[in-house]
Amino acid sequence: MKTDRRTGGGRFLELEGLRGIAALAVVFSHAISIFYMQMLHGPNEPSIASVQHMRFEDNLYANPIAALWSGTFAVAIFFVLSGFVLSIGYFQTGKVDILKKIAAKRYFRLMIPALVSILICYALIALSLSSMQSAAAIIQSDQLAKAWDFTPSIMTALYDGTVGVFIGGANSYNPVLWTMAVEFLGSFMVFATLLLFSDSRYRALVYAVLLIALFNTWFMAFIIGMIFADIYTKKRITAGKRKWYVLVSVLAISLYLGGYPYGEDLSHTLYAPFSIFSGLNIDMRMLSLTAAATLLVVGVLTIVQVANVLQRKPIRLLGKYSFSLYLVHLPILWIVTTQIFVWFSDLLGYNAAVVASLVLTIPIVWLATLTFAKFVDFKAVAFSSYFADVYMGKRSFVPKQALYRLRVATKAMSGITLRRFSLMRRPVLDNEVD
């Protein structure tokens, strides 16, 4: 039995759930990067000056289970999802207006939340609220000590939030925004490809050329997502109940490829076979994570057992707030979590202090996420939609309701003024004096 998992609005609820899980993985990744760096980068990474705080940290490095907290793997999932979601509506309807509206929305949709997150970080740095230096001394982490180790500038913050992160990527205020440049440019690569070649009989050749041209870059993930959206629509693919071994195989391969380690030394790890590519100018980690993300997205859209799990309300709710969670979690980890850790480290010991600080931080992160979503992210969505409608001529720049109220107010004020003027010119009677 096969079923179409789309809602009436064309949304893929299972993909929202997958996005939420990926955002949560990013949070776990950054928490681990603070306290247990060797779990991410291994014991022999020369750029990381960190000590081993748990005996089994090395065992968790270069392990497929590490895919569950690999922030970069989660980002690869975001990119493949973007390529699919941004193009699926056009493939299903063939309406160019859909592309135009999404393209018109894209900048403000991404810029407003990114800018506000940077300004929040600027304020935190300017107010010297960070306790990272104290935490870094206990953890013995040079990387944590260097975070926010600069003099903030409001002009730099404004530039980064409106322009810098979309052309340069890297950002010192909120480092997670390195993805914005890839997300923004990758989105418009998809739009341009669809507008120019979606109806071409040679689009398969165009896809091949794009994959070759963008090979070894994150932009390839967007093209792959777009290609699958094309196949998904044309072949009328739907989610079906698969055999248990298909499910296990998809998950196992995704975890294995998604757990590809950060470090370059793959010897004595499960990823040693990839060493045969070490002499080539290829970013095998990027390729491996992209392949894992692609397989996972395809699996989610074609295996009904997985789709059903990801469509559960708590997971979908996480997906709804995923962008806000992505933007606000790191400053909270750096400000709140490290401070709690410093308070508890002497009393509880290292590992217990880590657990306590993370447990106490969770509700703070979630509250900040909900607040940011309500007052920033959702407002950005509404404004970007309004701007797109204005751009496409579907709305006036000034809302009709506002114009109506302005006309009513103007008319009322005019009436009051005329009445006052007429009273001033009317002869005064004797009985009206005093």
pLDDT (tens, 9 = 90+) of the chain, 434 residues, equals 344 445 434 579 999 999 999 999 999 999 999 999 888 877 765 555 457 777 777 778 889 999 999 999 999 999 999 999 999 999 999 999 999 999 999 999 999 999 999 999 999 999 987 778 899 999 988 888 889 989 999 999 999 999 999 998 778 999 999 999 999 999 999 999 999 998 888 999 999 999 999 999 999 999 999 999 999 999 888 888 889 899 999 999 999 999 999 877 788 889 999 988 887 889 999 999 999 999 999 999 999 999 999 999 999 999 999 999 999 999 999 999 999 999 999 999 999 999 999 999 999 999 999 999 999 999 999 999 999 999 988 876 666 665 566 567 666 666 554 455 444 454 444 443 33
Residue 240: strand, helix, or coil? strand
Cα–Cα distance list, 215 to 25, 112, 282, 283, 336 (Å): 26, 31, 9, 10, 40
Question: What six digits make up the tokens of 118?
Answer: 């940077």
Q: Is 239 helix (H, G, I), strand (E, B) or coil?
A: strand
Q: How far apart are CA 104 and CA 384, in angstroms?
A: 8
pLDDT recorded at residue 395: 76
C-alpha to C-alpha distance for 51 and 399, rounded to whole angstroms? 59
Which residue's structure tokens are 């506000």? 116
* Residues 6+ away with beta carbon under 8 Å from 270: 62, 63, 64, 256
On the 0-12 / 13-18 / 19+ scale of CB atoms within 10 A, 308 is: middle
pLDDT at residue 284, rounded to an integer: 93
Interatomic CA distance for residues 63 and 357, integer angstroms: 26
pLDDT of residue 431: 43
Radius of gyration of the chain (CA): 27
Distance CA 296, CA 306 (A): 10
Burial tier of 306 (Cβ tally within 10 Å: 0-12, 13-18, 19+): buried
pTM exceeding the 0.85 threshold for the entire prediction: yes
